[in-house]
């Protein structure tokens, strides 16, 4: 195991050019444990001068890194994956302290992150070009796949480990260098942890650089740095629009996974046992703080009452509380503003005519004055226009909306600016496929729930949910470019 990976370790330096260095500001940002509402670590408050040094290091290191043979780049990612797996227990513990992740969330994060690293290991040998005939006599055409250069990764707080991994590991495997800016809420598991783990590999200094700090202070400089070639961002649509705009000013390629408002459609012939199992997981895992979680339950009127009753029973069977307790199913919301916003959505939805079946309140935690834990919440008699349904509530909240026929279900599902994920349950598979085809979203899962991520399957959103593609060949194309080389073997006649 690698030393220095506990929450009590020293996290007060930036990782730049293969060295742990203090920020030029000398200031720090506090990391708060959302379960206990107390400070557990301090990380550097990076400033623009730190950002510039990181990009200089990344640009210089990338020149030599891309020359390394595929087998060597593959070996480094294999070494990194080994570090993740050997330190999995410490990583799970870090996620508990930093983002309030239950053990289930932590173990799932490590599993998905390992899947992305495994997929990245295959990329160096998949960077193949092609040979093409020419219309010009005596000419040979070659198309090479080359790394873009410096990849900026701006990662979110909700699943910081795997959502950083899906960009960092492929970028490095493909011969790029990386500047990683994690969320202020998860600077350790989304950023500095990567520096410590890669330090145990043969990765040259400067290929990975980690800058922590306040987005309000350094966010624009990171997103718009002139030495950045691709900007990978996961987060809200509002912030993503700004990031993409700033990146575009430097003609950097934006790869954006943004917000979602995902519908879970259940037809009247669905296997209700399976649907309720999927609904419980899809709404309440990691407190609903998942961009691809269920935001709206769209249920056929014939089974609506039974569905609501059974979902309420399952919600009330879950154990909310501190993420440090083994029996906890639903842990804390990440911070106070997020908690207050979702509870306000619930209040507005009830005022608009919905029925609060269960939840809608905070749950006390021993030793905590103002708990961030919100009880699993079910709202019946909801409509698409109500606050908890039309907004991405990002919490353990399940508004349940009735429909009378498939056409109405599709209309409800698509009545949103977002198009990230979704799911449909139906006994007739052809009906389910028809519904899935008509849902305007990047991902749809039949007889399942919408929280799915497999590193070898392309993942993308539509409309306000983003641009570009993650995973496998899709992301490889985002972080590489093709170079045309032609060879004129025989003398060519020109018209001049």
Give catalytic status of residue 257 as yes or no. Answer: yes
Q: Of 98, 119, 291, 392, which residue is the catalytic one?
A: 291
> Cα(266)–Cα(333) distance, rounded to whole angstroms?
28
Q: Of 32, 98, 257, 392, which residue is the catalytic one?
A: 257
Residue 467: CB partners within 8 Å, gap ≥ 6? 244, 254, 255, 256, 461
Query: For 244-253, which contacts have Cβ atoms below 8 Å and span 24 or more sequence positions?
Result: 244/467, 246/220, 247/152, 247/223, 249/224, 250/224, 250/225, 250/226, 252/152, 252/224, 252/228, 253/148, 253/229, 253/468, 253/478
> Cα(259)–Cα(240) distance, rounded to whole angstroms?
9
Structure tokens at 138: 């005596």
Place of tokens 């009880």: 375
In the 8-state DSSP scheme, what is residue 191? I
The residues that bridge with 369 in the sheet, in sequence order, are none
Query: What H or E segment, with its residue span, contains residue 232?
Result: strand 230-234
Place of tokens 């769209």: 298
Q: Are strands 445-446 and 230-234 parallel, antiparallel or unpaired?
A: unpaired
Query: What H or E segment, with its residue span, contains residue 162?
Result: helix 160-173
Give catalytic status of residue 291 as yes or no. Answer: yes
* Residue pair 266/303 in contact by the 8 Å Cβ criterion: yes
Starting at the edge strand that comes first in sequence, how are the strands of the sheet with 377-380 ordered? Answer: 355-358, 377-380, 397-403, 294-300, 262-266, 422-425, 445-446
> Cα(444)–Cα(452) distance, rounded to whole angstroms?
9
What is the dihedral sign for C-alpha 328, 334, 336, 338? negative
How remote is the C-alpha of 37 from its chain's centroid? 24
* Length of the chain measured in residues: 496
In the 8-state DSSP scheme, what is residue 477? H
> Cα(292)–Cα(100) distance, rounded to whole angstroms?
18
DSSP labels for 169-187? HHHHHTT-EEEEE--TT-T
> Cα(198)–Cα(84) distance, rounded to whole angstroms?
10
Residues identified as active-site: 257, 291
């Amino acid at each position: 195991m690698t030393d220095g990976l506990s929450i009590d370790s020293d996290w007060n330096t930036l990782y730049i050019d293969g060295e742990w260095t203090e920020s030029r500001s000398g200031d720090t940002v506090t990391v708060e444990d959302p379960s206990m509402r107390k400070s557990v670590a301090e990380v550097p408050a990076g400033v623009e001068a730190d950002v510039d040094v990181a990009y200089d290091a990344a640009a210089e290191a990338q020149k030599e890194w891309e020359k390394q043979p595929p087998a060597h780049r593959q070996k480094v990612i294999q070494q990194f994956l080994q570090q993740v797996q050997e330190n999995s227990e410490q990583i799970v513990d870090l996620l508990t302290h930093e983002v309030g992740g239950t053990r289930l969330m932590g173990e799932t994060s490590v599993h998905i992150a390992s899947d992305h690293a495994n997929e990245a290991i295959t990329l160096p040998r998949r960077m193949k070009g092609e040979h093409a005939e020419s219309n010009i006599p005596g000419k040979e055409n070659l198309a090479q796949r080359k790394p873009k250069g410096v990849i900026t990764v701006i990662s979110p707080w909700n699943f910081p480990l795997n959502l950083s991994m899906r960009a960092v590991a492929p970028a490095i495997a493909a011969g790029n260098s990386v500047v990683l800016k994690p969320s202020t809420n998860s600077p350790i598991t989304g950023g500095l942890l990567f520096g410590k783990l890669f330090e145990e590999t043969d990765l040259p200094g400067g290929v990975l650089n980690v800058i922590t700090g306040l987005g309000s202070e350094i966010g624009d400089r990171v997103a718009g740095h002139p030495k950045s070639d691709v900007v990978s961002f996961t987060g809200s649509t509002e912030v993503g629009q700004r990031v993409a705009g700033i990146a575009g000013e430097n003609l950097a390629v934006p790869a954006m996974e943004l917000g979602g408002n995902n519908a879970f459609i259940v037809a009247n012939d669905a296997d209700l046992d399976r649907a309720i199992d999927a609904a419980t997981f899809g709404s309440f895992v990691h407190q609903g703080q998942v961009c691809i979680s269920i935001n709206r339950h769209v249920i056929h009127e014939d089974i609506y009452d039974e569905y609501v009753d059974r979902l309420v029973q399952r919600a009330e069977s879950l154990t909310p509380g501190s993420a440090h307790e083994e029996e906890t199913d639903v842990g804390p919301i990440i911070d106070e503003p997020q908690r207050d916003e979702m509870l306000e959505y619930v209040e507005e939805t009830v005022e608009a005519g919905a029925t609060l079946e269960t939840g809608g309140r905070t749950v006390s935690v021993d030793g905590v004055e103002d708990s961030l834990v919100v009880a699993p919440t079910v709202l019946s008699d909801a409509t698409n226009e109500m606050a908890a349904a039309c907004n991405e509530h990002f919490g353990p909240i399940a508004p349940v909306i009735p429909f009378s026929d498939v056409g109405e279900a599709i209309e409800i599902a698509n009545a949103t600016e977002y198009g990230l994920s979704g799911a449909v349950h139906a006994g007739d598979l052809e009906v389910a496929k028809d519904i899935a085809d008509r849902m305007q979203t990047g991902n749809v899962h039949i007889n399942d729930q919408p929280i799915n991520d497999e590193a070898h399957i392309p993942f993308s959103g539509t409309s306000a949910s983003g641009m570009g593609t993650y995973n496998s060949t899709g992301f490889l194309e985002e972080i590489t470019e093709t170079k045309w080389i032609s060879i004129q073997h025989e003398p060519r006649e020109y018209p001049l």
